[in-house]
């Protein structure tokens, strides 16, 4: 496979990358934290290819990036009460580097996660959100590196790893964040931090206390 370099500033680049995702292909793209590699979240075979490309253990699961919070209605199975307090985090920290683990919808491909929760966030990167929206609203994505290796911050470094593997690399320039998102498990009350990241526990604590 020849991996295509797409300049995100070109008028048709995002639409072309989105078409590849809808066709079940893998695309590397910038987020607000690191470059990610993703597939259509609803295509089981595409998710399987992503695991293989990442050399990722199946027990780790693949997060989903969304462009708009309304997508949670299709991806998750939350009660009205759960949604009410999840909306606190959505309003405060999205778009941004906070990943929420939520009760998953039974309609999602079974290989996305080995448990009943699904990790979801909205990236604070306009290129990423435009791509996700054009691709259908939900992209299963992980950092664009092989498991166990450091995340990458440029399209050039992505080519060194995924040339010939990903269908395209959407070049949005250097990503300055560099630190993967904070992961907050919201399937328990009060929520529990699974991974430290740009948003520290101290910032999240007031929301914890509202739920205790």
Tell whether the model's pLDDT for residue 82 goes beyond 90: no
What CATH class has 4-211? alpha beta
Domain ranges across the chain = 4-211
Q: Among all chains, which residue has been given the structure tokens 């699904």? A: 118
- Give kind and range of the element (H or E) at residue 168: strand 168-171
What does pLDDT average to over the chain?
93
* Closest to 60 in 3D by CA, of 184, 147, 132, 165: 147
Give the predicted TM-score (pTM) of the model. 0.94
Q: What does the pLDDT read at residue 209?
A: 61
Q: For the chain, give the percent of residues with pLDDT over 70.
A: 96
DSSP calls for 108-144:
S-TTS-SSSEEEEE--S-HHHHHHHHHHTSEEEEEES
Instruction: Compute the distance between CA of residue 17 and CA of residue 62 in angstroms, rounded to an integer.
Output: 20
Instruction: Compute the distance between CA of residue 27 and CA of residue 36 in angstroms, rounded to an integer.
Output: 8
Tell whether the model's pLDDT for residue 93 goes beyond 80: yes
Q: Which two tokens stand for residue 108?
A: 């999602």
């Amino acid at each position: 496979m020849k991996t295509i370099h797409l300049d995100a500033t070109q008028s048709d680049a995002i639409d072309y990358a989105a078409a590849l995702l809808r066709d079940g292909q893998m695309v590397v793209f910038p987020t607000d934290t690191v470059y990610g590699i993703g597939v259509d979240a609803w295509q089981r075979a595409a998710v399987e290819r992503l695991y293989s490309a990442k050399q990722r253990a199946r027990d780790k699961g693949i997060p989903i990036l969304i462009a708009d919070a309304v997508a949670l209605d299709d991806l998750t199975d939350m009660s009205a009460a759960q949604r009410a307090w999840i909306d606190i985090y959505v309003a405060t920290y999205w778009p941004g580097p906070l990943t929420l683990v939520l009760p998953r919808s039974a309609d999602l491909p079974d290989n996305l996660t080995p448990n009943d929760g699904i990790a979801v966030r909205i990236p604070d990167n306009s290129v990423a959100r435009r791509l996700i929206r054009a691709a259908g609203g939900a992209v299963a994505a992980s950092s664009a590196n092989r498991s166990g290796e450091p995340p990458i911050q440029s399209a050039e470094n992505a080519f060194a790893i995924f040339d010939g593997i990903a269908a395209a690399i959407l070049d949005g320039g250097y990503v300055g964040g560099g630190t993967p998102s904070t992961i907050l498990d919201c399937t328990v009350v009060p929520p529990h931090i699974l991974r430290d990241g740009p948003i520290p526990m101290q910032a999240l604590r007031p929301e914890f206390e509202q739920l205790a």
